[in-house]
Structure 1
Amino acid sequence: MAHQTPQQISHMQSAAEALLACYAELAADKSHLLSEILDDSVPRQWAHYPDDDVIDHAGGYQFFYHSHSPEDRDATAEHGHFHVFARQDVHGTGVDPNAEQEFLKRLNGELPADANTIHLLCVALDAKGVPTALFTVNRWVTGDHLLSAETTLRLLSGFSVHTQHELRISKWLTALLALFRPQIEQLLMERDKALWKLAEKRRKSGLLEDKSVELLSSIPIDIDLQINWLFSDENTTGH
């Protein structure tokens, strides 16, 4: 794992405490992590939960949860996953258009038409509501903007979702993404490397819309291991 500054470690430790508080509340309520957004006990394949996403219009972030068909995903390994986005109307002005044009040029790609959101990453869950992996997908999967790793990481660093009716799951997701920042940085770098490698082989446009290319990078995650490392002597001594 890449070296983290004392400030980054402190931020991750606060995120760990917030995440554990969410699980403590769930245990006290005897509730499942997804109970706030699922409208039945078994998610309908491909449906969005909630239907119109969880959206923070002011802060400019949103997410939804869904499950794939058994033919497309191993249900024993993944119950479903979150898609996480930044909104173009809020964060688009903070994106360097020249840098992103260079990123797309390297991929022989073009901007998507009428995309209102920027896809950041996905978080896979098992049936118990425990996150098992972070992964990224090709642009055609959601049809949103796909930005460089550097820009995507910056957008994720500010992720927070506040709605009229505050959801526990929003706090959980915010804490989770902060807790696994080092893995997210690695995930995004691996995504870009995979795209560049594929683009070099193709030497033609259409990579980002190529439906034979879906998963770009994936990293398994373990909350217990992350917290044990985070609060180990190497990270607490002198911090």
Structure 2
Amino acid sequence: MNMMANAGTMRLQAMAAAGGEVLKIQQDLAARRSNLVAELLRGEEDFFEQQHYPAGDVFDPQTGAQYYYHAHRNDGREHGHFHVFQRPQFLGEQFEPAKYVKTGVGRCSPKQKIGEHWPRGENALAHIIGVAMDHYGQPIRLFTVNRWVTDETWFAARDVIAMLERFELRHAWPSSPVNRWLNGLLRLFQPEIIDLIRRRDDAVEARGRANPRGDALEDRSLEVTASIDISVERQLRQLRRSLAA
């Protein structure tokens, strides 16, 4: 699927500019015999599965942007992955958590309340995207996950997409190159991420229809809701072709 087909020239130019910075950061780190994962883990003595890096996550108190890196699977290609979040209360407008999900969960026991255990208020956070990294510290895949995976507050796709468009890390801790790289990556692959977020909702709703007596958002058999393999270089080539046309 060509995610660039409906993007205007200005959006394509912004994506290309972001992609140029993403590629330059990767190349500058490679010239120093480093990479994004090594930069993020600098100073860490050991790397343990399931543990968040850095400890306490990266959080920008000006914008509400947040992320961490960890690993919990070994499929041969992936070293670990970033989980990228937005705390919506920092965006200056009201985003309401989903009051219901089209999953059939409403036909469960009357005692069950949708979202009663979700983080609320200042603790509410929305998962925007996961970014899988290979053993060379390069991005290889984007993916979305079910609610239980990150214990997030569930927001409808349209709201998460609005948060994506305003995601920004402004500070330099723990690594300025990594923070700037994440900013750029989310812009370079914005059409693909939007599609993945929409597919996330579709996957949860489909699971709910298949099991109307369960809660699809807590279904441990549904973890990754959508994914796509990526290449920064390939995306930039396609952008340049689209702009040239």
State the distance in 2 between where 1:9 and 1:41 align. Answer: 41
Q: How many residues align?
A: 228
Q: Take 1:73 and 1:92, find their aligned partners in 2: how far apart are those partners?
A: 39
Q: How does 1:73-84 map to 2 (within 5 A)?
A: 73-74=74-75, 76-84=76-84
Counterpart for residue 18 of structure 1: 21
Query: Superposition RMSD on alpha carbons, in Å?
Result: 2.0
Could you say which residue in structure 2 is the equivalent of 1:90? 90
Letter in 2 for 1:90: F
Provide the secondary structure at the position in 2 that maps to 1:151.
helix
Instruction: Map Cα deviations across residues 138-185 of structure 1 (whole Å, 9 max, x no partner).
Output: 111111112222211111111111226462101001111110112112
Q: Summarize the alignment of residues 60-209 of structure 1 with structure 2, pairs less than 5 Å apart.
A: 60-68=64-72, 72-74=73-75, 76-91=76-91, 93-96=93-96, 100-101=98-99, 104-107=100-103, 108=105, 110-111=114-115, 112-115=117-120, 116=123, 117-163=125-171, 165=173, 167-209=176-218
Tell whether the 8 Å contact from 2:143 to 2:224 is kept in structure 1 after alignment.
yes
Partners of 1:92 and 1:194 in 2: CA distance = 30
Q: Secondary structure at the match of 1:120?
A: strand
Percent identity over paired residues: 33
Q: Which runs of no fewer than 5 residues in structure 2 stay unpaired?
A: 107-113
Worse-matched range after superposition: 49-58 or 164-173: 164-173
Secondary structure, aligned partner of 2:132: strand
Task: Give yes or no for contact 1:120–1:146 (8 Å, CA) kept in 2.
Answer: no
TM-score w.r.t. the length of structure 1 is 0.87
Show the counterpart of 1:6: 9
Give the match for residue 110 of structure 2: none
Question: Equivalent residue of 2:37, what SS?
Answer: coil
TM-score by length of 2: 0.85
* Runs of 4+ residues over 4 Å off in structure 1: none
Q: CA offset at residue 205 of structure 1?
A: 4.4
Of the candidates 219, 223, 226, which is equivalent to residue 210 of structure 1? 219
Letter in 1 for 2:60: D
Partner amino acid for 1:118? A
Q: Partner of 1:199: helix, strand, or coil? A: helix
- One-letter amino acid matched to 1:192: D
- C-alpha displacement of 1:23: 1.7
> Residue 36 of structure 1 contacts residue 167 of structure 1 at CA under 8 Å; is this kept in 2?
no
Deviation at 1:136, TM superposition (A): 1.0
How far apart, in 2, do the equivalents of 1:24 and 1:212 lie? Answer: 39
Paired with 1:46 and 1:60, the residues of 2 have a C-alpha distance of: 23
Name the CA distance, whole Å, in 1 between partners of 2:78 and 2:159: 28
**Matched residue SS, 2:39:** coil
